Structure 1
């Protein structure tokens, strides 16, 4: 919920990293400081996060930088600034984003949204 202080976030991040070991990537939401200090695998940047280029410069070279994008312009900016992959919530803009960038794109949708006939048709065509 965003109310935890840095110490609490750091402790939670290191505990989670220990728990999952190398079975999954552990990413911090918008907190490059926590990702770096806890030696996490990277960050997921939202609209409220630091610019992609800032995250890329402040993290180790091997860190993942995932950027949540709402349109093709956001996606192009994130891609140019060093995003490793994009997270898209609105399947309606997915085609425009796919045409605009070459980095991998993940869709973050609910089952109901993906079950929608148009979404299934769109995904089947790709």
Structure 2
């Protein structure tokens, strides 16, 4: 898994940030876009350090691609998104057709999680998965 800032163009990055800002506002901490092979941090709030092990997070969050298959046919319905709670914030992960996004936030209600996941699903669905050269 390697960082590749070229997988996210300016227009797509702006769409992701707008979707997140509209739903979670100033509690947005970061946005990371990923595919099974690479990732790019799209946004990091200015008061946060950029020294997180982003590759480690992304490697773990690519499990979202397998989750769609693993939970297929469940009585709960189709897998939609994942929320993770941490001591200092929350992570919401969404995957659609071979690419995904996870956002980190300060506080987060279930309703806001659903809203940001829905918005991100829409943005991801409107973009083709970038192909590696």
**TM-score normalized by the length of structure 2:** 0.29
Q: Which has the larger radius of gyration?
A: 1
Q: Which has the higher helix share?
A: 1
Q: Which has the higher contact order (CA 8 A, sep 6+)?
A: 2
Higher strand share: 2
